[in-house]
């Protein structure tokens, strides 16, 4: 017994020593304590919910399709059960399109059957955010492998398991491409990669359309909360800091604090030495400052804000040199608001003028928090100068919204003359949040609620489970749903529309900047306004419009606030509010 114990001790010591040596070979961060790279993502395996389409309905080339709708184990087995089968000839190359029920970020797992020959045929895999995208070819109508491979050929193992792909998709087309081959597949699962975090914020009212819109916006941003906060999960898997602002407001509303936000803000800061602009766009460097103001307002992390001080103040000084004596902004390059407004030069100028005001307002606020009087004076001086010059919106809803939010133009005037006209025509997914916010500032809450129902709701009507990079209400005319093959006489909305960098199938159908209604509904209908940083004081001021009731939760650093509002027969609102200790509620 003694000998056995000693041998065991020696073996354990050897194992521990081996682990220690291996650990020394791992890359380490600057502090030498932790691995240089880690992830907070988890994986979940999803079974197809529906067979959308098969290339052959005769039962000759495609068999046992229902086998793919059974939950799998991920394990190849020796049993010779009936499996999903594809059989090719020299002229027939069968295919099937699967629906996983909702858009996800991730890949695909394929498990093969024992019934295959060891020399099996190859398959072509095409991921799609729409059914029609899975039937496209790269280079055709904007279809692309940019940012993430979504169209490729793989060889499958005999009696084994293969994981492939890393993209944003809901649908998958699997096609046998070698001639005269029979291929059996035991199971196909989607590999869903995401942050396993709770939805602390919530929103429910008597209008299910608004409820679904709120949740769809939340889910859209959740998918983009990968190792960094992305713009899109198929294309634009990048940190575009201006586009982050609507996403960050959704994170604040739904998830509360999450490290993906400061991680992304710090990445873009460290990649942009001054006097360069973030992402090459002056407006995006302004959005970086505005985001920091809002992030501090919601979370009150002074230590993190202090880490930004040197770069923040240097950036504010740089912007202070971009103002003419007349008060007019003179930003030389990188002049951009969003894509739909990019050809309206006067509107871009009006928007940049407004963003300069919003930037120095944020700078003045943060300077006071950081107790730097000289920087506060610089910001207030810049504001006095900027407010002397008021440009025209040139009939742009983007420019009108920013002019209103900056205070350069009364919100009521911007709403009456531009924002409230033509319903949701000339709205945009990115700037929709600011259009809604400006309408709220004008007191037109009902108009904003109607916009949400029509504009974002129309995407849902077309089968969307996430919100898109761009959308025009005109696209609704004779449009085919994105979750069905294109019917004769119908318009393929994915291949037919989109502009600029997102023509046709390159168009992203999961873009976090389109999530504006989620935070807007919580801010304005549920009525949560932050009065003091870190949510120490919150004002609850609901605006139900035509709704009868609304309830929900809102995350704070102290815990979740629970809220319920009911409209009484005489029109007044009865509220029930339960706030955690540490949060003062004004209502």
pLDDT beyond 80 at 100: yes
57 and 191, same domain (yes or no): yes
Tokens 């949510």 belong to residue: 535
Q: Does 501 reside within a domain?
A: no
Same domain assignment for residues 62 and 211: no
Q: What distance in Å separates the CA atoms of residue 454 and residue 458, rounded to the nearest whole number?
A: 6
Per residue in 115-165, pLDDT (tens digit) is 999 888 899 999 999 999 999 999 999 999 999 999 999 999 999 999 999
- Please, is 283 exposed, middle or buried when counting C-beta atoms within 10 Å of its C-beta (0-12, 13-18, 19+)? buried
332 domain-assigned: yes
Q: Identify whether residues 167 and 219 lie together within a single domain.
A: no
Q: Give residue 9's pLDDT band: very low, low, confident or very high (50, 70, 90).
A: very low
Domain check: are 358 and 449 in the same one?
Answer: yes
Whether pLDDT at 17 is above 80:
no
User: Residue 510 pLDDT > 60, yes or no?
Assistant: yes
Q: Same structural domain for residues 64 and 120? A: yes
Range of the domain at 33: 2-38
- Residue 43 pLDDT exceeds 60: yes
Residue given tokens 């354990």 in the structure block: 12
pLDDT at 30 over 60: no
Mean pLDDT on 164-176: 98
Inside any domain, residue 567: no
In a domain, 544, yes or no: no
- Is residue 571 in some structural domain? no
Same domain, 11 and 136: no
Least confident range of 80-84, 452-456, 494-498, 581-585: 80-84
Residues 6+ apart with CB under 8 A from 221: 247, 250, 251, 254, 512, 515, 518
Report the pLDDT value the prediction gives residue 36, as an integer from 0 to 100: 63
Q: With cut-offs at 50, 70 and 90, classify the pLDDT of residue 5.
A: very low
pLDDT at 2 over 80: no
**Cβ contact 523:535 at 8 Å:** no
pLDDT of residue 35: 57
Q: What is the mean pLDDT of the chain?
A: 94
Mean pLDDT, to the nearest integer, of 535-552? 98
Q: Where does 506-582 have alpha helices with state H?
A: 516-520
Task: Mark 35-73 as b/e (b = at least 16 C-beta within 10 Å).
Answer: eeeeeeeeeeebbbeebbbbbeeeeebbbebebbeeebe
Q: In terms of domains, do 253 and 348 share one?
A: yes
pLDDT of 57: 87
In a domain, 498, yes or no: no
Nearest to 239 by CA among 518, 513, 519, 517: 513
The total number of structural domains that make up the chain: 3
- With residue 124 as reference, give the H or E element that holds it: strand 122-128
Q: Say whether pLDDT at 15 is over 60.
A: no
What average pLDDT score do residues 393-417 get?
Answer: 98
Q: Starting from the edge strand earliest in sequence, which strands make up the sheet with 584-586, in order?
A: 528-532, 537-540, 584-586
Same domain, 348 and 234: yes
β-strand pairing of 537-540 with 584-586: parallel
Asked whether the predicted pLDDT for residue 22 surpasses 70, the reply is: no
pTM of this structure: 0.94
- Residue ending a domain, among 175, 195, 215, is 195
What is the reported pLDDT for 29?
A: 47
Domain end residue (candidates: 139, 163, 195): 195
DSSP, res 126:
E
> What percent of the chain has pLDDT above 70?
94
Q: Are residues 112 and 220 in the same domain?
A: no
Reading the block at residue 71, the tokens are 């939950």
Residue 333: predicted pLDDT: 85
Residue 113 confidence (pLDDT): 95
Domain CATH number, residue 63:
2.60.120.260
Distances in Å between the Cα of 61 and the Cα atoms of 4, 148, 163, 254, 364 are: 61, 31, 25, 47, 69
pLDDT > 90? residue 504: yes
Residue 491 lies in a domain: no
Query: pLDDT at residue 252 above 50?
Result: yes
Residues 58-65: contacts with CB within 8 Å, 24+ apart? 60/87, 61/86, 61/87, 61/88, 61/89, 61/92, 61/94, 62/86, 62/87, 62/94, 62/96, 63/87, 65/96
Higher pLDDT, 3 or 14: 14
pLDDT at 12 (0 to 100): 46
% of the chain exceeding 90 in pLDDT: 91
Burial class (CB in 10 A: 0-12, 13-18, 19+), 508: buried
Summarize the confidence of residues 488-492 as an average pLDDT.
97
| Chosen domain end from 176, 195, 214 | 195
143, 229: one domain: no
> Both 289 and 244 in a single domain?
yes
Question: Tens digits of per-residue pLDDT, 452-476?
Answer: 999 999 999 999 999 999 999 999 9
Q: For the chain, what percentages of helix, strand and coil (3-state, to nearest 5) are there?
A: 40, 20, 40
Do the domain assignments include residue 363?
A: yes
Token code pair at residue 530:
């932050």
CA angle centred on 30, ends 28 and 36, rounded to 5°: 35
Residues 303 and 402 in one domain: yes
């Amino acid at each position: 017994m003694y000998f056995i114990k000693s041998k065991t001790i020696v073996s354990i010591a050897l194992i521990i020593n081996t682990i220690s040596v291996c650990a020394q070979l791992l890359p380490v961060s600057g502090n030498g304590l932790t691995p240089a790279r880690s992830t907070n993502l988890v994986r979940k395996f999803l079974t197809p919910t529906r067979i959308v389409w098969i290339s052959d309905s005769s039962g000759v080339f495609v068999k046992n399709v229902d086998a793919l709708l059974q939950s799998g184990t991920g394990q190849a087995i020796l049993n010779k059960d009936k499996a999903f089968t594809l059989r090719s000839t020299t002229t027939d190359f069968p295919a099937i399109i699967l629906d996983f029920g909702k858009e996800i970020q991730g890949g695909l797992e394929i498990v093969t059957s024992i019934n295959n020959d060891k020399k099996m045929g190859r398959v072509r895999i095409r991921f799609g955010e729409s059914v029609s995208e899975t039937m496209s070819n790269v280079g055709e109508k904007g279809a692309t492998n940019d940012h993430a491979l979504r169209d490729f050929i793989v060889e499958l193992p005999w009696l084994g398991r293969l994981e492939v792909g890393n993209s944003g998709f809901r649908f998958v087309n699997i096609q046998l491409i070698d001639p005269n081959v029979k291929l059996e597949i035991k199971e196909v699962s989607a590999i869903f990669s995401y942050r396993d975090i709770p939805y602390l914020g919530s929103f429910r009212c008597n209008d299910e359309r608004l409820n679904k819109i709120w949740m769809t916006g939340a889910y859209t941003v959740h998918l983009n909360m990968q190792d960094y906060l992305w713009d899109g999960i198929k294309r634009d898997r990048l940190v575009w800091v201006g586009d982050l602002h609507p996403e960050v407001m959704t994170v604040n509303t739904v998830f509360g604090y999450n490290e993906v936000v400061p991680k992304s803000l710090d990445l873009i800061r460290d990649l942009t030495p001054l006097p360069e602009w973030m992402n090459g766009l002056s407006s995006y460097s302004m959005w970086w400052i505005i985001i920091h103001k809002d992030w501090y307002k919601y979370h009150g992390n002074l230590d993190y804000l202090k880490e930004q001080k040197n770069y923040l103040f240097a950036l504010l000084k740089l912007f202070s040199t971009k103002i003419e004596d007349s008060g007019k902004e003179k930003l030389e390059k990188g002049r951009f608001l969003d894509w739909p407004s990019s050809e309206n030069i006067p509107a871009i100028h009006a928007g940049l003028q407004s963003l300069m005001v919003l930037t120095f307002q944020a700078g003045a606020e943060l300077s006071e928090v950081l107790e730097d009087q000289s920087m506060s004076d610089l910001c207030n001086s810049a504001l006095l100068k900027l407010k002397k010059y008021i440009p025209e919106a040139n009939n742009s809803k983007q420019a009108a919204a920013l002019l209103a939010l900056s205070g350069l133009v009364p919100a009521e005037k911007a709403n009456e003359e531009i924002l409230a006209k033509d319903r949701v025509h000339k709205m945009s997914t990115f700037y929709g949040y600011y259009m809604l916010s400006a309408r709220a500032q004008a007191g037109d809450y009902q108009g904003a609620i109607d916009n949400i129902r029509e504009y974002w709701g129309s995407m849902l009507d077309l089968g969307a489970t996430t919100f898109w990079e761009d959308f025009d209400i005109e696209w609704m005319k004779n449009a085919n749903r994105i979750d069905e093959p294109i019917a004769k006489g119908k318009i393929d909305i994915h291949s037919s529309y989109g502009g600029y960098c997102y023509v046709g199938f390159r168009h992203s159908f999961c873009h976090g900047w389109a999530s504006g209604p989620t935070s807007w509904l919580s801010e304005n209908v549920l009525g949560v306004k932050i009065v003091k940083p870190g949510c120490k004081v919150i004002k609850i001021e609901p605006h139900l419009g035509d709704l009868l009731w609304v309830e929900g939760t809102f995350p704070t650093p102290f815990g979740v606030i629970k809220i319920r509002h009911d409209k009484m027969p005489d029109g007044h609102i009865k509220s029930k509010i339960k706030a955690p200790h540490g949060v003062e509620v004004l209502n």
